[in-house]
Structures are given as C-alpha cells and as structure tokens.
Amino acid sequence: MPQDETHVTEVIRRLVLDWCADHNDATERKVDVASGDAAPLFGIERVLDSLALVGLLVAVEQGIDDELGVILTLADEKAASQVKSPFRTIGSLVAYATKRALEESSAHA
Amino acid sequence: MPEQVTLITGARKGLGRYLAEQRLARGERVYGCSREPSDLVSPRYEHFCLDVSDERAVRQMFSRIRKEAGRLDHLVNNAGVASMNHAMLTPMSVVESILSTNVAGTFLMCREAARVMQTNGFGRIVNVTSVAAPLHLEGESIYAASKSAVQTLTQILAHELAPFGITVNAVGPTPVMTDLIRNVPADRIASLLARQAIPRLGTPEDVHNVVDFFFRKESGFVTAQSVFLGGVC
C-alpha cells in the first residue's frame, strides 16, 4: 500500500535516532544527535566504523519492515551509485531511506 | 534459556530432513525450506517453499522468522544441486543452476541469517560442502568448484561475522545415500570410497554429529573450519 511521505520520514527518523541513542550509551565515539540532520555518521567526518554502520542499516531496515511492512535493502547498487554517500549524515540517511521505502511500497502496492 | 531457533535449507528430504528431525528432537523450533512442500509435521516446524537463490522470497522468509520467533540461532545451508558429467558435455544451464543454488543461495542465506543473528550477538552457521572439492573429482568440475567456493565463503564470512558473535563453519560429507548420489554408478562410488581413510558411505548421523558440535554454545571459538568426514583432507 502506498505510504504517506511525512509519516514514513517520521518513522525512519525515530528509528535512526533510537539506534543512535543506544549506540551513544555503549560507545565513546558518539553521534552528535544535537546537530540534528547535519550530524555526521559515515564518510570523511565519520563517527561510525564500518561495523557500526552495518548495525545501523540493519536496525533501520528491520524497523522499516516491522513498522511500515516494507522489506528493502539500503546498502544496494542505488546507494553505491550516489555521488555523495546517503549514509554521511542523519539527514541524508533519513532522506534516502524514506525515498527507498516509498519506492518499494509503490512497486509492490 | 529461550527456545533455540534453527533454519535448515533443503529440508524436505534426505540429509536436510534428518537434520530437521534431529533438531526438533532436541526441543528446538525449526524452520525448513525447499522448492517443494514438506510432509514433516510438528507444532515446532514450519516449512517455506522457495528457491534459495530467490532474493525476494528469501528476504520474506527471514522477515517472517524474525517476526514470529524473534531470533535465529542456527542455520544449516544444506540445499544443493549436483550434476555429474564430463566438462565437454556440461551445458551452461547446468553450470548456472549449480552456481546459483550452491554459491549464490548459500551466500544469500548467510547474509540474511547474519542480519537476524546479530541482534542477539549469537549465531551458528554451518555450510554443507563436499569431498568432491578436496578430492578434485573428475566429472564434477562445476559441482566441486561450487563447493570450493562455499569453503572460501565460509572462511571469509567467519572473519566478517565474528564481531557479531556468529561462527561460520562447513561440513563436507562423504557420499551419503541420498537422492543426490542415487544415480551415480556403483563402481564410481566404490573408487571414491577407496580414497577415504575410512572407506564407507557416510550416514546422516555422521553429518549431524559435526553439525551438533558446531552448534554448541561451547564451540564459540571454532570458526572458519571445514571438517571432511571419512578422513578426506
């Protein structure tokens, strides 16, 4: 079923922030969630190592499946082909995951 | 201790069916899959009809398992296809089928299982390889190559998944009397057995013994290993 973009964005932002909160409780290299969408995740200014990024993406994918009923892969060819990594900040990840969730939702409506 | 959850591919018959029954007998919740339906009945067993190389179907199965069981502790990648033929008489359709099921299917199942297992920081993956790889069996070039690929996958995934508490190992049975070898000529089986240290057919019990060892909580320091039965190395 096609989904409302605002709702999808809210759900995904909450999933990302929940994961960041758990991550920040467990490590010293914390995601600066106070910076909002600009908070760096992965890339030149990265705070997450590759294993942490795996954990974040899997958590967001599973959350999208649980809450929106959409099964998708975030680290796919589309992500790799972006000029700028969609995983560089909280905002870019939320925007990319929202776009992909809406695409998948429409494709299998 | 929560109920242990096990997924076995190729679970409809032969070795996979035996492994499913053994894990059920140990009180585990067991999921199985194969292309055709299973007649295995248990309140703790559920069967999925799918092709292990069909990404969409496999992801839907793991989504169901995660939502229903909330965890996955063990995976056995048993599904496999074989074709014995001289290389010059092997059609590309057979090559593609073997690589798709044995290599791509094994990778896909490992990838999706690891995504579920990592949430609990524990997992045991056992891939089924074959003595056809170390024995370099003539007439089985693609099958043996696919199983060599499974061994390499096993070793590399063991490193990639270790930080998540997941071990990845392989078991390489000698010929076991299943449908996979039922049409292999008797003299060919005999010559193969003669190359083993212990020259007899394997049994499902032999294979489960190794799987059970890899599954154990105490086997958390055992990973990236391929154990061949019958003294093949």
Regarding the domain delimited by A5-103, which CATH topology (the fold level of the hierarchy) does it fall under?
1.10.1200
Q: Are B196 and B231 in contact (CB under 8 A)?
A: yes
Architecture of the CATH domain B5-228: 3-Layer(aba) Sandwich (3.40)
Using alpha carbons only, give the angle B8, B13, B15 rounded to the nearest 5 degrees: 60
The B residues from 42 to 61 touching A (CB cutoff 8 Å) are 56, 59-60
Nearest chain A CA: its distance from B115 CA (Å):
6
Binary contact (B115, A71; C-beta < 8 A): no
Runs of H (alpha helix) within chain A: 5-26, 50-68, 77-80, 90-107
List B49's β-bridge partners, or say none. Answer: B34
Q: Locate A59 and state its tokens.
A: 């958590």
pLDDT band at A79 (very low <50, low <70, confident <90, very high): confident
| Domain coordinates in residue numbering, chain A | 5-103
| Among candidate residues B133, B113, B97, B147, the one with its CA nearest the CA of residue B9 | B113
Question: Using an 8 Å Cβ cutoff, are B29 and B52 in contact?
Answer: no
Query: Phi then psi for B196, rounded to 5 degrees?
Result: -90, 155
- Whether the pLDDT of residue A21 is over 80: the answer is yes
pLDDT at A1: 58
Query: Any idea what DSSP says for residue A108?
Result: T
Per-residue pLDDT of chain B (233 residues; tens, 9 = 90+): 789 999 999 999 999 999 999 999 999 999 999 999 999 999 999 999 999 999 999 999 999 999 999 999 999 999 999 888 899 999 999 999 999 999 999 999 999 999 999 999 999 999 999 999 999 998 999 999 999 999 999 999 999 999 999 999 999 999 887 766 777 788 888 888 999 999 999 999 999 999 999 999 999 999 999 999 999 98
The secondary element (H helix, E strand) that includes residue B48 is: strand B45-49
Which sequence spans correspond to the domains of chain B? 5-228
Q: How confident is the model at residue A44 (pLDDT cuts 50, 70, 90)?
A: confident
Kindly report the nearest CA distance between residue B118 and chain A, in angstroms.
8
Residue A2 has pLDDT above 70, yes or no: no
Q: How far is A51 from chain B (nearest CA, A)?
A: 8
* Mean pLDDT of all residues belonging to chain A: 92
CB nearest to B63's CB, from A54, A58, A65: A65
How would you write B195-233 as a 3-class SS string?
CCCCCCCECHHHHHHHHHHHHCHHHCCCCCCEEEHHHCC
Q: Which of B59, B68, B161 to mutate to test the interface with A (most CBs of A within 10 A)?
A: B59
Place of tokens 């997941």: B166
User: B13, B67, B147, B217: which one is catalytic?
Assistant: B147
From B56, B66, B163, residue closest to A62, measured CB to CB: B66
Does A49 reach chain B within 8 Å, measured CB to CB?
Answer: no
